[in-house]
Amino acid sequence: MQELKHYINGAYVAGTSGRFSEVRNPATGEAIAKVPLATPAELDDAVAKAAVAQVEWARVNPQRRARVMMKFGRLIEDNMDALAECLSREHGKTLPDAKGDIQRGLEVIEVCMGAPAMLKGEFTGDAGPGIDLYAIRQPLGVVAGITPFNFPAMIPLWKMGPALVSGNAMILKPSERTPMTSLMLAELATEAGVPAGVLQVVHGDKETVDAILDNEVIQAVGFVGSTPIAQYIYGRAATNGKRAQCFGGAKNHMIIMPDADLDKAADALVGAGFGAAGERCMAVSVAVPVGKETADKLIEKLVPKIEKLKVAPYTAGDDTDYGPVITAQAKARIESLITSGVDQGATLVTDGRGMSIQGYENGYFVGPTLFDDVTPEMDIYKEEIFGPVLSQVRMETYEEALQLIIDNDYGNGTAIYTADGDTARDFVARVNVGMVGVNFPIPVPLSYYSFGGWKKSAFGDLDQYGPDAFKFYTKTKKVTSRWFSGIKDGVALNFKAMD
């Protein structure tokens, strides 16, 4: 079994804690690697080295840093197949889905190639007699990214791209369940020209996370994961004077109006609900048809589509629809929630419990599960299941359906399927969710916008990638400058001295 290492100063460094976590192939249950869990001292040492490297990196002009991102992007493209194979092996995603994971991260790197435009300051000449005002953007210094298991390439790239091109050094703490893809990306970043020490990959668990939050040199922390942990990290980071953007869980609803194209809506629900085994913060897990006839017809269209889904390991071919969930514990939790749905009175239309695939009996597979007659009091509605489970909540009117979403604790993504423009416009205007789709099931904004939810799905004022990322990873210095040629002497004791 492979023993992984930390990536420090452009080289692999063995862990010294003596503590390890296993990386398992979710399709087989086999332990494929063990990853060291860093001590606070190891983390502090990596941060100290990053702080030294960051000083010189910040002096590199933005255009040259952008050229490094350009080369980094080319290297990611050149190594797409190897990255996808690594990602699928440690996560379980199908190869096409793994490549999509990488591609969405690569798109953020492509936006980072335009960093000189994003990092421009402001200037006002002759703001007063001989006085110029200007503002410049400067890097924060050392920042940290704590990333989840479900997107082993995309979210690390979302964090490292804007942080590095803005002149910061980054400590990346990937999920201990899927650390190998991040290590490959770090190697490619070094090959692209990111100086040694500017990108450090430090593995760890809660002890390492707490060390990141308490380290005085680290100026900002970006996190993606569950809501309770997002709230914990945000609170501790803020207490320690750090910037923080922490993205948590979701319960994404899709309203289906009576005038919607039900074939398209059903296709969208299957793709958005079961793709990547439902392990996406933007997965649609709640279908909200309006009216009994809409609900009955939707179930009729969903069932045959769901029954055709192919669940298999990524090695089974590109026609596989989705693979296993991440761990045996995740499988057990999902199946327990399915059982709770049955016990609490929901109608189980398709049952994914107890799934076993010949030759992969130890894999963590859960079949596609569909519930009807779900109510907001049920655990399968209240909990973020993070698995291939779709719940149908029937509503009689559009207003009731909209209110269901408004009242939900989460506000990551939502969608509506309708043929009526007035209804769609009203939905967009009134729904209290950060990312909204109109006849579009997973409304993840393109990389030159920004990604982020509302309510308990996000903590912090700025979103991920796009313009918000450059604001998050820089601070603005405001300068008032005067040259005395032609200016009369005198003492000014009031704020009108610039007039």
Residue 493: the pLDDT is 67
Contacts of 93 (CB under 8 A, 6+ apart): 87, 101, 276, 314, 322, 323
Residues 16 and 93 reside in one and the same domain: yes
Q: What percent of the chain has pLDDT over 70?
A: 97
| Residue at 404 is within a domain | yes
| Residue at 47 is within a domain | yes
Counting Cβ atoms within 10 Å, is residue 29 exposed (0-12), middle (13-18) or buried (19+)? middle
Residues 271 and 242 reside in one and the same domain: no
The answer, yes or no, to whether residue 111 has pLDDT greater than 90, is yes
Residues 346 and 406 reside in one and the same domain: yes
Residue 494: the pLDDT is 67
Residues 273 and 198 reside in one and the same domain: no
Residue 484: the pLDDT is 78
Residues 25 and 170 reside in one and the same domain: yes
Are the CB atoms for 198 and 204 separated by under 8 Å? Answer: no
DSSP state string for 116-158: HHHT--EEEEEEETTEEEEEEEEE-SEEEEE--SS-TTHHHHH
| Residue at 33 is within a domain | yes
pLDDT digits (tens, 9 = 90+) for 147-170: 999 999 999 999 999 999 999 999
pLDDT digits (tens, 9 = 90+) for 274-295: 999 999 999 999 999 999 999 9
Counting Cβ atoms within 10 Å, is residue 142 exposed (0-12), middle (13-18) or buried (19+)? buried
| Residue at 495 is within a domain | no
Q: Which of 26-40, 310-324, 479-493 has the lowest mean pLDDT?
A: 479-493
CATH number of the domain to which 243 belongs: 3.40.605.10
Residues 381 and 301 reside in one and the same domain: yes
Residues 166 and 286 reside in one and the same domain: no
Residues 40 and 182 reside in one and the same domain: yes
Average pLDDT over residues 397-412: 98
CA–CA dist 19, 38 (Å, integer) = 8
DSSP state string for 176-207: TTS-HHHHHHHHHHHHHTPPTTTEEE---SHH
pLDDT band for position 128 (cuts 50, 70, 90):
confident
| Residue at 497 is within a domain | no
Domain that holds residue 286: 252-438
Residues 240 and 258 reside in one and the same domain: no
Hey, how many other C-beta atoms are within 10 angstroms of the C-beta on 493?
6
Average pLDDT over residues 334-358: 97
How many domains does the structure of the chain reveal? 2
Q: Pick the catalytic residue: 86, 112, 246, 281?
A: 281
The answer, yes or no, to whether residue 202 has pLDDT greater than 70, is yes
CATH number of the domain to which 364 belongs: 3.40.309.10
Residues 92 and 227 reside in one and the same domain: yes
| Residue at 449 is within a domain | no
Residues 56 and 104 reside in one and the same domain: yes
Residues 231 and 86 reside in one and the same domain: yes
Last residue of a domain, one of 386, 408, 438: 438
pLDDT band for position 483 (cuts 50, 70, 90):
confident
| Residue at 258 is within a domain | yes
Answer yes or no: 246 catalytic. Answer: no
Mean pLDDT value across the chain: 96
Of 91, 247, 86, the closest CA to residue 175 belongs to 91
Hey, how many other C-beta atoms are within 10 angstroms of the C-beta on 277?
33
| Residue at 22 is within a domain | yes
pLDDT band for position 497 (cuts 50, 70, 90):
low
Residue 158: the pLDDT is 98
Residue 498: the pLDDT is 54
